[in-house]
Structure 1
């Protein structure tokens, strides 16, 4: 099940108030494919972009390890039916490891999966928030191997 199916919908915000910022920022600036569900933008994980997800309780350690190795990239906290998770964006190069080779709490999303994106909506109740915001001056993503290395304990 992809994360988009796990996020609770919020139809309280008008679609038009958020779409211009999402399309301009995520779509045109970063070249990410977006899909909208109501007022919520989703990142379509395709064209070499994937996400490594893990329980939020493990997220800070992973983000610190990635920063220490110079492999920090965009990361967000996402509210799912499984509870809060951290999603770290990565470049897949088409090579996704088999599920059995990953730690049990880690999942790799790719191939058209949808990931909710933080939106500049002013909502108190958000289903996604940036932990490490994407930087327009540094638009590359760390490799999937680098992110998975940061996920595995030392």
Structure 2
């Protein structure tokens, strides 16, 4: 994905998000699935826009049978951060978690219904113009994203694919 004409004029690059564990559009390894080790994958980002004071990351599955299912929210990540290490989604990891649709204030990885086919997991990173998002850590992922929208300077995404029973 290339820089937009505006980015080329100013010399800035758009915010990017990647994982050393899987490429954009590729299969998420089993260790990051809820039925595997249920570890959050390592993530790296770069080129945050000027004025970034914090980051928010969510993971959601729009292919879920009942509509978009949200697996993780982590927020109030300091602007100096350039990533999250593997397993940062566990409780007690020192980051603020929202409550996912499993009811956990932590990362819960892919767990699509067996036989439902491949699901797409959208990792969405937002650069915010505030240090602290005014939400309780126990708030639901969707509520946290909605509260952050007015403060978003940029957004980057990464998509991983997962299907139960596939190797």
Q: TM-score range by the shorter chain?
A: under 0.3
Please identify which structure carries the higher helix content. Answer: 1
- Normalised by the size of structure 1, how large is the TM-score? 0.28
Comparing both chains, which one has the higher relative contact order based on Cα–Cα distances under 8 Å and sequence gaps of 6 or more?
A: 1
